[in-house]
Structure 1
Amino acid sequence: MNNQMLQNKLSADCESCFGLCCVALPYAKSADFAFDKGAGVPCQNLQKDYCCGIHNKLRDEGFKGCTVYECFGAGQKVSQVTYRGLDWRNQPDTAKEMFDVFPIMQQLHEMLLYLDESMKLGDAKPLYGGLRSIYEKTEQLTNLESAEILKLDIPAHRAEVNGFLLKTSELVRSRVKNRKQPRGKNLFGARLIGADLRGSDLRGALLIAANLKGADMRVCDFIGADLRDADLSDANLEGSFFLTQAQINSSKGNAETKLPSTLNRPTHW
C-alpha cells in the first residue's frame, strides 16, 4: 500500500503497522485483559513480525479489550508515514516518541472519520463547505513531523471539530418528528426493551449492559457512547451515525439486529 492510500485510510491496517497499540497503550488485568501491561511495554503476545500470536482467539484467551479497540488507521499512518517505515525495534531511539505520537494520531484520525461520515450525510449538505475545510485542516495536522504533532493542542482542535459535528447531528436528527430523548446519559444497566429512541442524542451515553432488545434506535447520534455488553438483540440502528465498528463489537446482538450499512455484524453475536 502506498503512502497516499495510507494517508486516506481511516480503519486499521495491522499488516502495515508496527504493533503500536500492542506496545504504546497500557492496560490492567480485568474482564477485558488477562494480565497487566504498562505503557511502552510490548504485549507478550506480540510476535517479531508485529502480528498478534493469538489474534484469532483473543476473546477465548481473555483479551476482549483488544477486539473492541480501533485506531482508525493511526497505526499504519504513524508507522509508514510519520516514521517512514522505520520501526521501533531497529530504531530504539525513536521508540518512546513514536509511542507518544500514536495516541495523538489516533485522536486526529477519529476526528477525520466523523468528519468524513458527516460529508456523506445528505441532511448535512448545508455544512459541506465548513466540514471540508476542517477535514483538510485536520488531515494537514496528521502529516506534520513527529515533533510538531507532539506540540498540538488536541483539546482545542477537538472543540473546533466538535462544533461542526454538533451541527451535523442536529440537522440529521431534525428529520425525526416527536423525538423522545432518554433521561440523562447515565443509562448503565437501563431496561429499555422496545424503547422508541428514534433521533436521540446518545453522545457520550453510558449504555453499559443496558437492555435494548427490540429498541428503535434509528437516526441516533452515537458518538462516544459506551455500548459495552449492551444487548442490541432485535434492535434497529439503521440510519444511526457516528457509530463505530469498535462500539458494535463491544455490544451483544443477534441476527435480527439491524445495523447501518457501513458496519459489520460481529462474529461473536
Structure 2
Amino acid sequence: MSAQFHAPRRGPLILLVLMLAVVASVVRLDLLPALAEASGSAGELLGFLARFTAPELKPAFLAKVGQGVLETLAISLIGTLLAVIGAVALALPASGRWGRTASVVSRFCLNVLRSVPELVWATITVLAAGLGPFAGTLALCLHTAGVLGRLYAEALENADQRPEAALRAAGAPVVPAFVYGVLPMVAPQWLAYGLYRWEMNIRMAAVLGFVGAGGLGAQLYYAMSLFQEARAATIIVAMLLLSWAVDAVSGALRRHFVLAA
C-alpha cells in the first residue's frame, strides 16, 4: 500500500525534473538564438538542399563511385574478419579458461580497444600508416575486436561446460575437447555477432573516409569541400544502397545459420 500511495506523487516530480533538465539543456546549448538565426536563412538552407535533388549520373563519375563502393566494402569486410580473429584470440583467455591473470589482462585489452571510438582509431592509424584504406581497415579491426571479444567471452562463460568436461574426463586433449564440446554451442552466436558488426562497420567505413581512411567517405568529403552537391548526392545514394544490400545479406545469413543451429 505504501508503494502504491507514493507512486502518484513521484510521477509529477520526475516529470518536473525532466522538464527542468530539458530547459537547462536548451539554455546551456544556446539553441534558441541558433534557431532564430536559422529561421532567417531558411531560403538558403532550402536552396542548398534542393541542389542535392539532382545526382550526377555521368558514366565516368559513376565508375569512380563504384570503385569507392568496392573499396568501402573491402574495408568493412577485411576489418571485420581481422577483428573476429583478434576477438577469438582475446575471448579465450578473457573467459577465464587460462587462469585469473590471463583473464584480467585480456579484459583490460578488450576494454581499451572498444573504449576508443572508430574515428579516433582512424585518426591514429592515419598518422601511423598514412592516408588510405589500410588505415580504415586497421581502425575498424581494433575497435570491433574489442566489442566482439567481450561478446565472445560472455558467450563462452554462459555455455554449458559439461560436454567439454566429459570429453576431458574421457581423455581427450584440451583443443579437441573445446572444439567438439564448446565450439558448436557458441559458433552460431559468434557468427551472428560478427555479421551484425559487419552491418555496423559498412556504415562506419563510409564515415572513416572523412579523416582520410579512403572509401566513399573520402569521396563525399572531397565533394562537399568543393560544394559539388550533385556529386555528393550520388555518393550518398551509393552509401544508402550499399548499406541496404549488406543489411539484407547479413540478415539472410543470420537467419540461415540460426535456423540451421
Mark yes or no: TM-score above 0.5: no
TM norm structure 1: 0.27
Which has the larger Rg? 2
Q: Report which of the two has the higher share of helix.
A: 2
Greater relative contact order (CA < 8 Å, ≥ 6 in sequence): 2
TM norm structure 2: 0.27
